[in-house]
Amino acid sequence: MNVHAGVPRAAPASGLAPELAGDLELREISKSFATVKALEAVSLFARPGELLAVTGPSGAGKSTLCRIIAGLEMPDHGVCRIAGKNVAAVPAGARRVAYMFESYALYPHLTVRQNVMSPLMAPNGRNSEAGGVDALLETLEIRHLAERLPAALSGGQKQRVALARTLVQKPAVTLLDEPISHLDAKLRHKLRNEIRRMVASRPSPTVWCTPDAMEALSVGDRIAVIEAGRIEQIGTPEQLWLQPASVRVARLVGDPPMNLLQGRVEFRDGGAHFMYGDLRVPLSASLAKAATLLGRDVSCVLGMRPNLVAVVPAGIPGAVAVELYSHEPFGKYAIVTARLGDMLIKAKTSGAVPAGIGATAGLILPASGFVLFDAASGNAVASDSVAARHPALEPEMP
Amino acid sequence: MASIRFDSVWKRYGSVTAVENLNLTCGEGEMLALLGPSGCGKSSTVKMAAGIEEVSAGEIFFGERPVSRLAPGARNIAMVFEDYALYPHLTVRENISFPLRIRGLPSSDVKARVDEVLDLLGLHPLADRGVKMLSGGAQQRISIGRALVRDPALILFDEPLSHLDADQKIHLRTEIKRLQKLRGVTSILVTHDQTEATAMADLIAVMNLGVLQQVATPHELYARPANTFVANFIGEPPMNLLPLRAHDGGLVLADAGWPLPLDGHRIKLAQGVRAAESMTAGIRPEHVTVERGARGPRQAIVRYCEPRGDVDVVVAAPLDHPGTTITAEVPGPAGYRAEDLVSIAFAAERIYMFAGADGRNLEVRP
C-alpha cells in the first residue's frame, strides 16, 4: 500500500465527499496478528471538534487503532464509521484521514515547506487549507527552517514538520500518533495548547495517541485508556483522576500515580476497615457498603492519591511508623517515599524533610478520598470522591 | 570516592566554543546535575570528565589530583548510559560481575560484592535471567548495579531515564537518588529534563550556550533564580515572564496595563534600576490565583485548561489583550473551560524582578 502521511489521493466514487464531516465511531473492533490479539472489541467515538486522547503503555494497541481508522489495516471484526459512513470498503487514500505517523515519514527530497504543502498539491488538495502555512510554521517554531531538507533537521524539528503537514489539511479525521514526544518541556506545553485550539474549531474529530497518561489528561476532552488491546476506561480527565475504573488506569494517571495497597477488608465494631499488616484504615459508609459486595474478608486494593498522604516526623500521634525510603524536592512540592512492610507509599507534600533516608518517620493517611479495587480483577468497586461533572465534556454515546 | 572540580575549563571545537571558562565543584558523595538545552555544553563537560574529550584549557581535579592528562581507563570512572549498554547474551549476575571479572578478582570476592549490589537494587529474583527480555527500567537498574559494583571514584549518569516509559521514570529516579545517597558515591548527572535534575541532584549547574548560568541546590534555583534563563528553565509549567512599563509612578504589565502589586522592598529594587532600562516581572504559575467572574483590575478570558489530576494548569489572556497569556496552576480538578471569564491575582511577596537588558535577578547579587 502506498499511502504517505495522510496525503489524499483522487477520491474514487466510494470515497468520502469533501463536505462530509461528523463523528468518528468504532464498534467492537477486533484485530489479531497471527496469534497475538492486538485489539479486542474496542468501541469508541469522537465528536466533531472533540479531541479524544488515547493512552496506554507501549504495545497496548494505540498505533493499530490508528492504522485501522486510516484504512492501513483491516479489522477482523467490527465497524469503523467516519462522518456516519461505514468505511470498510473505502480505501485508505479516499478516507480523508490526516495521519501523523510516529515515524514522521517525511519526503527526504522535499524542503520543509514543500513537505508541509504536499497534501495541498495532491489531486483533491483543494480540501486543504492553502493559506496559513507560514503562520502554522511560525506557531511550531520551524518557519526559519522552511527551505531546509529533512536531513538537516533534528528529531524534534522533523516531528514538527510532520505535525505541520498533518494540521494543514482539512480532513474528516485527524490522527496524531505521539505528536510531541521528542520536544522539550516548554515547547510541549505550548503545543499541547496550540494544537487543542486548532482542532477544537474543526468540523471533524481528532485522535491523539500518547504513552504519557499525563499528556493525555492535559490534551483530551475525553481520554480512552487502552491496555493489552482492551479499553480500560473512557472518561473526562476528572473521571480518570477521581474514579479510575481499574488499578491499570490508576497506575498510569498522576505524577506520581496513585498508591495501591494490597490488603483485605475486615468488618468489625459495626464498620469496615482496610487491613494491611498493622495498618488499619477505617472506610467510609459508601466504601464499606461496596466492600460487602466483595464478600467477607476478601483481598482488595486500596488506592490513595499521593497528594492526600503525609509523611511526618516519627512519634506524631495517629501516624503509622514507616521507613523513610527516598525524598525528592521539586521546589513547589516534594515527593517523599515511605516503606511500610514490602510496600512503597508516595506522598506529595510541601512540608520539610521529616527524617533522613533509612530513618523512621510517620505516615498519615487521609480520612477519605480512597478508591477500592477488587484484587482479583483489578476493577474499581467504589470511590469516595465524586467527579465534578461537565456536561459539555461528556457527550452521550450515540 | 573523591570530589570533582572543574578549574577554568574550556572546550573549543575549531572556532566554536562549547564550554567557556567553567568553574564548578561537586563535593565528595554528592550528585551534581548538568542541566540545559541541547548545545549548552553539558555533554562536552561530562566527556571531558570521563576523558573521552580532551580539555582545551584549564584542569579537572579528582580530589587534589589533576586528571586531564590521564587516559579514560586510569580515572576509575563508571558510566551509566541512556541505552543501558548491557551485554545482551549475559545474565543479570554476569553483567554486574563483568567489571570485576575482567580485573581478575577472586570469584569469592566477586560473588560477595555482586550479591551486595543485587540486594541493594532488589535484583536477586532476576539474578540468573537473561537481560534481553527485561523491562527498560530493570535493564537500567542492572547498568547502575554494574557501575556501583566497581566502587568507582565517580559515576557519570548520561540521560539515564530518557528511554523509559513515564511510570518507570518516576520509579527509577527515586531509586537512583536513594542508591546514590546510601552508597555516597560522587556522581554527575547529565540531563535536559529539569524534573529529573531536581528529583535526583544535590546541586544543579544550569548551562546555556557553553556558559554556566547558576549552580545551586534545587530549592535555591527554584526560590532564587539568577536570571530569566534559569527562571524559565526550572519549574513546570515555566515561570510567567512579563515585561513591565512605568505608569502613574508605579509599574504595570507592558501589554495588558495590569497593575502589579509590589511591596516596599520590590519598589526599592525597581527604583535602583536605571530609568532607561526595562524590567520584567517573573511570577510562577503556582503563585497566580484565579477566581471565576469579573472582579478587580485583572480580568482575563481562559484560553485553555490542562487538567493534571491534583492540579490544573489554566492559561488565560487579559481581556482586550489576547496577544499575551498568563499561566496559573490551581488546585484540581477545577473545571475551567475556554472562554470562561476569570479574575487574576498575584501574590506580592512572590514576584521576581529581573532587569530587562540582561535578565539578571535584581535580588541576586552576582
- pLDDT > 50? residue A397: no
Q: Which has more pLDDT, A219 or B85?
A: A219
Contacts of B152 (CB under 8 A, 6+ apart): B76, B77, B78, B185
| Average pLDDT, rounded, for chain B | 90
What 3-state DSSP class applies to A235?
strand
pTM: 0.84
Pick from B194, B146, B143, B132: nearest CA to B172: B143
What 3-state DSSP class applies to B61?
strand
Which residue among B177, B198, B237 sits closest to A189, beta carbon to beta carbon?
B237
Contacts of B337 (CB under 8 A, 6+ apart): A390, A392, B302, B305
The DSSP letter of residue B2 is: -
Q: Which three cell numbers stand for residue B73?
A: 581507563
Q: What is the mean pLDDT of residues B30-50?
A: 92
Q: How far apart are CA B103 and CA B148, in angstroms?
A: 15
Enumerate the residues of chain A whose CB falls inside 8 A of the CB of residue B308: 214, 217-218, 255
Q: How high is the pLDDT of residue A195? A: 92
Chain A, nearest residue to B315 by Cα: A193
Q: How high is the pLDDT of residue B48? A: 95
CB contacts under 8 A, A 343-362 vs B, are 348, 357-358
* Residue B336 burial (CB count, 10 A): 24
Confidence category of residue A15, pLDDT binned at 50, 70, 90: low
- pLDDT > 80? residue A157: yes
- pLDDT > 50? residue A396: no
**Contact A325/B at CB under 8 A:** yes
Q: How high is the pLDDT of residue A208? A: 97
Expressed in percent and rounded to 5, the helix, strand and coil fractions of chain A are 25, 35, 40
Q: How high is the pLDDT of residue A367? A: 81
Q: How far apart are CA A369 and CA B305, in angstroms?
A: 23
Contact B306 A357 (CB under 8 A): no
- pLDDT > 90? residue A271: no
Confidence category of residue B314, pLDDT binned at 50, 70, 90: very high
Percent pLDDT > 90 in chain A is: 54
Q: CB–CB of B304/B347 below 8 Å?
A: no
Q: How high is the pLDDT of residue A130? A: 52
ipTM of the complex, rounded to two decimals: 0.80
Enumerate the residues of chain B whose CB falls inside 8 A of the CB of residue A385: none
Which residue type is seen at B363?
A: E
Contact B308 A253 (CB under 8 A): no
How large is the angle between the packed helices A155-167 and A112-121, nearest 10 degrees? 20
Q: How high is the pLDDT of residue A282? A: 87
**Contact A58/B at CB under 8 A:** yes
Q: How far apart are CA A345 and CA A324, in angstroms?
A: 10
Element (H, E) at B351: none
Q: How far apart are CA B216 and CA A253, in angstroms?
A: 32
Q: How high is the pLDDT of residue A6? A: 44
**Contact A57/B at CB under 8 A:** yes
pLDDT digits (tens, 9 = 90+) for A186-242: 788 888 988 998 899 889 999 999 999 999 999 999 999 999 999 999 999 999 998
Which residue among A212, A306, A330 sits closest to B199, beta carbon to beta carbon?
A330
* Residue B225 burial (CB count, 10 A): 29
* Residue B121 burial (CB count, 10 A): 19
